Chain A
């Protein structure tokens, strides 16, 4: 049933208008500003060509942010997907204990990044932090959670993935439900063990779920701001933190736009490559 053109237009207009004004226009502006020298305040600014981008290429704070954000994304994406799949496979049963475990994995998802960061800041204090109290009780030396940049990345990754793991697990659990039971039954008759069932049946058939989850975890990783900002005093910057700092502490608005544009391009390129690669592995639907 087609809806008449006139009413279709009236129905689509408000949504499209909001999307256009508050999503598309800002992105176009971001593009535009990144080729200017605007400070974000003054009335005058001029076209700057690719100067912002050539400066970025030799800006150490930006390159550091890029490097650490990439490492952070890699760590979190690995944790999300490896643990997400394992937990989903383990919890793919019905019992009271299994249901309880599902709820616990999922509960932190509803917490704000601020609350998550507060809790983990407390847990990971050098002195008096819960984790070090436990570690010391076993006679082991305290862990320096914020001792180096890599240590900070690991610490923040644990907090972030603790909170987000529920999403990924749930998507994998839903994907597991789409695998036909007959495949497992047939392989049992053929004498396949648990491990070979996992690698030959479960993993290949989870490919669509893996695709969404890897793309999602990479996008989330690259746009990281909240936890890193709240848990550390700024020793390690993410790309977003770097850009916000440039825009508001240094009044380098166009430069900040250029940083955001780089982030944007990275996310899109990785997602497209990822989708392309994973499509080849996905089992085509019959």
Chain B
């Protein structure tokens, strides 16, 4: 009986392992083929690279100016994140602590942003940004992100702050500290897990975003990593060696962020699911 169950577990695991490998098979294809010459890809697309060549990466780096694209994307991602994390946590602190009718209306108003599909904001945003003389600028793009991701960041922070006991803040009040000191010295450090979650989510979404940078930055004002490699590769191209090396280069930094913050990412999803 016990042996039979062990056998069943073994079969289940084997099938599961095979299914997992099949699932990430497209990633295998992208990675191994980024190290092959074009001819090798056509001849042997499935095999491991026989002789590893870094020429693709060199060509991709030079042709699509990956270095410049990295800097643009890092600048935009970092600026949006700082702006969102600071303003959203401050706003959420008020929403979580002051339970007046006015504040709860404000929360509903901010949460309504969840329902808005990003393209609905993009087209008219081009006009508001132009009005503010921010069109075609990276500042315009990161302000756009701050606006569109405010809802989700505030939601995460509000739900998290609600779980923090208020005794710490009360002791701060007794010591005569002002709201600013209490928030930045006492509360903000406690929000670290939540900040990590919001940071991971938003950095992945902003780094990978495609449509808004394409139209807000346009072609003359620098490109992000995604619009940059899209443009370098072009739609008709079949230079798969370049396509794959560009793809690998574009994904490396964000995969690194993900691997470093995997726990926060999953706990964030969990929080969202349990809240319902």
**Within 8 Å CB of B120, what residues of A?**
27, 30, 260-261, 263-264
User: A27, B116: Cβ atoms under 8 Å?
Assistant: yes
Q: What class of interface size applies to chain B in its complex with A?
A: 35 or more
Inter-chain residue pair count (beta carbon < 8 A): 251
User: A12, B106: Cβ atoms under 8 Å?
Assistant: yes
**Within 8 Å CB of B46, what residues of A?**
130, 133
- Among all A-B residue pairs, the 5 with the closest Cβ atoms: A22-B147, A15-B91, A112-B208, A7-B179, A223-B117
Interface set, chain A 251-286, CB cutoff 8 A to B: 253, 256-257, 260-261, 263-264, 267-268, 271
A248 and B27 CA atoms in complex are apart in Å by 34
User: A260, B250: Cβ atoms under 8 Å?
Assistant: no
Cβ-defined partner of B23 (8 Å) among A12, A105, A112, A170: A105
Q: Does A186 belong to the interface (CB within 8 Å)?
A: no
A sample of 17 cross-chain residue pairs with beta-carbon separation below 8 angstroms, ordered by A number, consists of: A2-B97, A8-B94, A15-B110, A15-B150, A18-B83, A19-B113, A22-B128, A26-B124, A33-B124, A101-B16, A114-B208, A114-B226, A118-B246, A119-B26, A119-B30, A122-B30, A225-B211
User: A223, B124: Cβ atoms under 8 Å?
Assistant: no
A100 and B166 CA atoms in complex are apart in Å by 40
Interface set, chain B 209-260, CB cutoff 8 A to A: 210-211, 215, 225-227, 229-230, 233, 235, 240, 243-244, 246-247, 250-251, 254-255, 257-258
Q: Does A48 belong to the interface (CB within 8 Å)?
A: no
Q: Does A162 belong to the interface (CB within 8 Å)?
A: yes
The proximity string for A residues 209-224 relative to B, scoring 1 for CB distances below 8 Å and 0 otherwise, is 1011000000100110
Besides the contacts A15-B91, A167-B269, A223-B117, what 19 more A-B pairs have beta carbons closer than 8 Å? A8-B179, A12-B106, A14-B86, A16-B91, A18-B143, A19-B150, A25-B124, A25-B128, A26-B121, A33-B124, A112-B210, A114-B227, A118-B233, A128-B45, A170-B269, A219-B117, A240-B119, A240-B211, A243-B123
Q: How distant is B80 from chain A, measured CB to nearest CB, in Å?
A: 11
Q: Does B194 belong to the interface (CB within 8 Å)?
A: no
Cβ-defined partner of A174 (8 Å) among B27, B179, B180, B273: B273
User: B124, A226: Cβ atoms under 8 Å?
Assistant: no
**Within 8 Å CB of A123, what residues of B?**
26, 29
Tell which of A90-98, A148-156, A196-204 binds the partner: A90-98
Q: Which residues of B contact A (CB under 8 A)?
A: 13, 16-17, 19-21, 23-24, 26-27, 29-30, 42, 45-46, 83, 86-88, 90-95, 97-98, 106, 110, 113, 115-121, 123-125, 127-128, 143-144, 146-148, 150-151, 154, 166, 169-170, 173, 178-180, 183, 204, 207-208, 210-211, 215, 225-227, 229-230, 233, 235, 240, 243-244, 246-247, 250-251, 254-255, 257-258, 266, 269-270, 272-274, 276
Residue of A nearest to B86 (CB): A14
The B interface is mostly helix, strand or loop, or mixed, namely helix
Residue of B nearest to A253 (CB): B123
Cβ-defined partner of A1 (8 Å) among B13, B23, B24, B170: B170
User: A107, B24: Cβ atoms under 8 Å?
Assistant: yes
The A interface is mostly helix, strand or loop, or mixed, namely helix
A110 and B230 CA atoms in complex are apart in Å by 17
**Within 8 Å CB of B272, what residues of A?**
171, 174, 212
Interface size on A, residues (CB 8 A): 84
